[in-house]
Structure 1
């Protein structure tokens, strides 16, 4: 019998990566992009109306979605970070050109389009290994609901479907880099969640090379850090902290609008008739109607992606410099600001404290203390933020920190796990 075709899939909040098992290793799937091949496929969708397409709505995903959006932003609908609403009971559907899309509809559309750019590498899969966060993003996430939506999203792709905690995939990948036995802590920082796993790695040739000991997670990661930048630099110009008149009283503008605006997964969804009508009504009674008008313009002119890129750039720049310049313009708004790393770290200090608490929970679940950890493997884009690196260096010692493959280690390890004879120790 031929060996089963195994695909490891890291469906991420910001980027998605796939890998195919081969022999005793795995190969990352190369996906087409406007600039050539890529292994990191942006978890984004762009819809636009096209009478030549069946159903009248065309769609692209990944870097092609970005290219389509940039060509005609106001005529398209761009969605990103939609994984963040997987466990949200309040999310029922996204309305796009008067058509409703449930989470699983968005997910299936994304996967189908991603596979179409994989040059056949994601076709004819026998066993699919899917990464999932230890704790889903969002307030009071519903894990059962998320699993139901994931099952519908991935239905029909492979005869076998298994879910594995994302940091375990990274742990399996890291195990290929070492030969001595070690107890490791994997810290995986994604766009929506930060997940931690303690794993015992035995020497090569052992009956069980990797043994999971304990897990923990928190629904905080890169997108929440982005939200803090938006709150500090952008929101004051859009009415945050402002007031409006209602029945002779002066009241604070509801903060729910600003919370949604700062959440990449929800910003694009604000472009619907109900929300825009509510904002227009608020604008008429606001003490500073121009501020609310600017928020409406950003939403209606589909400038969320451009804002995302401006925020991401300043965050990345602060990973290598003490000061970075923030620039965003559009919808009658122009913001120029120098941001220091010290200020950024103050803004995200509450989130860093919650991340530290999740690390404590992972150690407690594994019944080990910090001294028992031989290596700390940091992965995911937000692991490059200096104060996150310091958190682990101060706790475990800089000499125990390992990095590398920040965007690809999970998919690589998931494919390796899929090739194991017994998956029960890994599935979640």
Structure 2
């Protein structure tokens, strides 16, 4: 019996896993032996090459001239999916860009199939289960359906013939279920790079053996909100970094503040590339002539001219991660013509992101209400996704359940592993 693939296309990182019916799932090495790969692309204008994952990040951070793309999943279901964007001398649709990243994972799957051959470790390459958030787009069912259709179309264009979907928190629950010895009522808290999802699920060894077709009644509720790790990056950047680039500044005559949207887009992973146009550069130079603090706008101009926006976003992300274990961190960006050192404390970070944590807490309450269960009925809270490591998020996700077991599953691999289990049950 062949092994079947599950693919977790994430906002920040992606994984590919395989499982045979009744067997344990395993992650496929997708980049230099690693089971995870940053969801990133770099199109080099120096050698014409296309770099994926860590190689893409390295080329960009190393200062190579080209176009860097990250957080493409966040564009699904938005108006940007109907547009094209310049890549060197050509223009590409965002669906094609997503497909180019998926092609790398498709190639890794085919390589694994070639290695395994037709023996007991054989790999099915014509069918795949993709993960999806409970809501790609909040409060817009049409856009949510469009997002799934767009991802499916991008996957089929790269050779994934039969594409099915499973909710990401349900996939994480399926992986955790493979370890339980008795029935449990669990809440899955999946805080990803772009979305947060929550499911109330009944789990047991017997239910696991029943197969995916009989599991619908075990999923008591699934809710989601479009809040993820990149949103925490954005608000930290707006609070601690963008004031150094002119946000909040006034014009020299003191009559008005500078427009905010330029800074908001520079702080948003998937919006950064939209600022790299001649018009935006003219706008910033014009604002500098009017500004009371033109040196700050000169720094913003540097970001545009040198396409440094994602390097700055990476520095913010690094500080956010550091604040998981430390009370303070410094957001640093040092390159020719620009030196930034902006201190950040965990207290300031939590103040800046309190609204996001409140939305996550409200979504957990909504999941419990939809399932019709009280907090005391939850026996296990399964935490997954990189965003669940943020102390304030972890506290919000567990505070309602003082007597529940807190299960910290593989932060970046549990969804992919669960998707592979689901694929084995669907396709066998």
On whether the aligned pair clears a TM of 0.5, the verdict is yes
Contact 1:88–1:138 (Cα < 8 Å) also in 2: no
Deviations 1:133-166 (A, max 9, x none): 1122589682132123212211143332101111
Deviations 1:31-59 (A, max 9, x none): 233xxx111100000001357xxxxx421
Cα-Cα RMSD: 2.4
Offset, 1:96: 2.0
| Aligned counterpart, 1:78 | 68
Deviations 1:255-291 (A, max 9, x none): 1111111101111231122322332333333333222
- Distance in 1, matches of 2:139 and 2:318, equals 27
TM-score by length of 2: 0.89
Which secondary structure state, in structure 2, belongs to the residue aligned with residue 419 of structure 1?
helix
Mapping for residues 325-344 of structure 1, pairs under 5 Å: 325-330=330-335, 332-344=337-349
Mapping for residues 131-210 of structure 1, pairs under 5 Å: 131-136=131-136, 142-156=143-157, 157-204=159-206, 207=210, 210=215
- Distance in 2, matches of 1:272 and 1:407, equals 35
Offset, 1:365: 1.8
| Aligned counterpart, 2:407 | 402
Offset, 1:21: 1.5
Contact 1:4–1:127 (Cα < 8 Å) also in 2: no
Offset, 1:383: 0.7
Q: State which drifts further: 281-290 or 363-372.
A: 281-290
Q: State which drifts further: 156-165 or 39-48.
A: 156-165
Contact 2:241–2:342 (Cα < 8 Å) also in 1: no
Deviations 1:85-131 (A, max 9, x none): 11211452222224222221111111113444567137861211000
Deviations 1:341-369 (A, max 9, x none): 22211111111001001111111222212
| Aligned counterpart, 2:118 | none
Q: State which drifts further: 279-288 or 252-261.
A: 279-288
| Aligned counterpart, 2:5 | 7
- Distance in 2, matches of 1:228 and 1:31, equals 31
| Aligned counterpart, 1:236 | 243
The question of 1:314 aligning with 2:316 is answered no
The runs of 5 or more residues in structure 1 that have no matched partner are 52-56, 424-428
Mapping for residues 267-278 of structure 1, pairs under 5 Å: 267-278=272-283
| Aligned counterpart, 2:117 | none
| Aligned counterpart, 2:14 | 16
Contact 1:222–1:382 (Cα < 8 Å) also in 2: yes
Contact 2:200–2:367 (Cα < 8 Å) also in 1: yes
Structure with the largest fraction of helix: 2
Q: 1:67 to 1:326 in 2, by over 3 A?
A: closer
- Distance in 2, matches of 1:219 and 1:398, equals 29
Which secondary structure state, in structure 2, belongs to the residue aligned with residue 16 of structure 1?
strand
The question of 1:281 aligning with 2:286 is answered yes
| Aligned counterpart, 1:44 | 40
Contact 1:283–1:292 (Cα < 8 Å) also in 2: yes
Contact 2:240–2:344 (Cα < 8 Å) also in 1: no
Which secondary structure state, in structure 1, belongs to the residue aligned with residue 411 of structure 2?
coil
Q: 1:239 to 1:331 in 2, by over 3 A?
A: farther
| Aligned counterpart, 2:30 | 31
Q: 1:239 to 1:346 in 2, by over 3 A?
A: same
- Distance in 1, matches of 2:20 and 2:308, equals 42
- Distance in 2, matches of 1:138 and 1:122, equals 38
Which secondary structure state, in structure 2, belongs to the residue aligned with residue 9 of structure 1?
strand
| Aligned counterpart, 1:61 | 52
Q: 1:300 to 1:272 in 2, by over 3 A?
A: same
Which secondary structure state, in structure 2, belongs to the residue aligned with residue 224 of structure 1?
helix
Which secondary structure state, in structure 2, belongs to the residue aligned with residue 155 of structure 1?
helix
Structure with the largest fraction of strand: 1
